Structure 1
């Protein structure tokens, strides 16, 4: 039997039809489950898929990260091609590679970038309903950006976290938050070293409330200080959220370099 190795996947998916990323005994039809099935179909092995970000039901990704261990002789960089012949068309492995056996995507210094996309039109556009949140009210982008800047830096984001979060600490560092218009879409982009349960969606919901005139940018400071979920705005719907990319600050060492 070949020696076991660890393979990293960069996974893109349309989350519309899935119950989020993480497989649970009570939750089926997840991205993690589909990947495990595909690896089993390819290698005959029952593997554990370890994901970097456990995105919610309906959330999309261009570059989520996952690893699994295998004794397959398939080269790490060929798994992407092989798995894509098995996976459903709404999931794609855009890159694969062998990594060190102890490499864990959740135990690295990373920057993660999310985008929340808002369709800011008078009427909904049915063909875009799964990939944007329709918001018909006029938005003050300047005020939204002013509020967004107050979220940057290291803060306790308890007010911007689902009350069911089991995180031991709610302190996170946000490197950048921006709000831009791209045609009829308003795109809220958030980059940070980690995110709490529903955090980006709550940030989006809060900025939209300020953009429509319900509150001032300076209210963000008070929301952070209160450390109370009820202090911030609503949780925006899942379909507007995209995990864009992961940046590994120390790089990803290649075992072949040793």
Structure 2
């Protein structure tokens, strides 16, 4: 008997259209939507509690956008041979809502575990926050350096997060577009619930002068002393990608050239209006980038 085919499905989605990624009964989620379509295509069981055809590499909260996540589906090999990469991508996308898309499929080796990539990368567009005052590249680099390395992020996660709150951040860097800092990038092996959004709010507080670097360091290096520095909204957070050395996807560099720069000297109400424009840009860019990734991984058969 042939071994079943283990398929890695690369997906992207707009977070505000789903109540998070993880399956929840009678609620629109990314996993639930994908599993329902797999069921309709006879590629999986009907989704319900504790019965799941798909496993996601990363969980995301409602509102968080995703450029790349991986879903794993097991199929009998004869079905995979008959369908192939191109038809599978097309079959999913023909049935998915416009805010969730499959941009690639490849076969993974036996025993592949999507939850354990070499690393994950997030980006947060700080300039989308209504009260973001701006930052120089040098300032941002200094603030981000605080979080690099292994630390206990108890003060930078959801209080209901698991008990093991130690995480290792491999690298951070300012997210720069047209010479202007628009946010930051952060890469680590794994992230705890709300970690990046709380780091983003701490940086916002530093930029506004609401806290000092010493206060942020104390919150990080003294996790036994509770300290709540707030949490930034999910709309500007993007799960940018992850690296699995077992998978072979083509990922062209993202084109952010149509992102507009935040005008200076706006009133608070005017800035709120600009933030709505920026949010529309993110939606447009996510869809455009999803198409670019899909075309880069298109295989003629």
- Which band: TM-score by shorter chain? 0.7 to 0.9
Residue from 194, 200, 212 that aligns with 2:196:
200
Q: How does 1:87-102 map to 2 (within 5 A)?
A: 87-102=96-111
The structure where strand makes up a greater share of residues is 1
Question: Residue 71 of structure 2 aligns with which residue?
Answer: 66
Is the 2:44–2:53 contact (alpha carbons within 8 Å) kept by the matching residues of 1? no
The separation in 1 between residues aligned to 2:166 and 2:3, in whole angstroms, is: 40
Q: Are positions 1:143 and 2:170 aligned together?
A: no
RMSD of equivalent CA atoms: 2.3
Question: Residue 176 of structure 1 aligns with which residue?
Answer: 171
Q: Are positions 1:52 and 2:57 aligned together?
A: yes
CA separation of 1:58/1:164 partners in 2, compared to 1, >3 Å: closer, same or farther? same
Residue from 98, 111, 131 that aligns with 2:119:
111
Question: Residue 19 of structure 2 aligns with which residue?
Answer: 19
SS in 2 for 1:34: helix
CA separation of 1:246/1:219 partners in 2, compared to 1, >3 Å: closer, same or farther? same
TM-score w.r.t. length of structure 1: 0.83
Structure 2, unaligned runs of 5 or more: 46-51, 249-301
Is the 1:143–1:217 contact (alpha carbons within 8 Å) kept by the matching residues of 2? no
SS in 2 for 1:58: coil
CA separation of 1:137/1:173 partners in 2, compared to 1, >3 Å: closer, same or farther? closer
Deviation of 1:204 (Å)? 0.4
The separation in 1 between residues aligned to 2:85 and 2:6, in whole angstroms, is: 12
CA separation of 1:44/1:174 partners in 2, compared to 1, >3 Å: closer, same or farther? closer
Deviation of 1:214 (Å)? 1.3
Aligned structure 1 segments of 4 or more residues deviating by more than 4 angstroms: none
TM-score w.r.t. length of structure 2: 0.72
The separation in 1 between residues aligned to 2:38 and 2:194, in whole angstroms, is: 29
Structure 1, unaligned runs of 5 or more: 120-132, 254-258
Is the 1:20–1:57 contact (alpha carbons within 8 Å) kept by the matching residues of 2? yes
Question: Residue 134 of structure 1 aligns with which residue?
Answer: 129
SS in 1 for 2:23: coil
CA separation of 1:45/1:181 partners in 2, compared to 1, >3 Å: closer, same or farther? closer
The structure where helix makes up a greater share of residues is 2
Question: Residue 256 of structure 1 aligns with which residue?
Answer: none
Is the 2:85–2:105 contact (alpha carbons within 8 Å) kept by the matching residues of 1? yes
Is the 1:179–1:188 contact (alpha carbons within 8 Å) kept by the matching residues of 2? yes
Is the 1:10–1:93 contact (alpha carbons within 8 Å) kept by the matching residues of 2? yes
The separation in 2 between residues aligned to 1:187 and 1:140, in whole angstroms, is: 9
What is the aligned length? Answer: 236
The separation in 1 between residues aligned to 2:215 and 2:183, in whole angstroms, is: 21
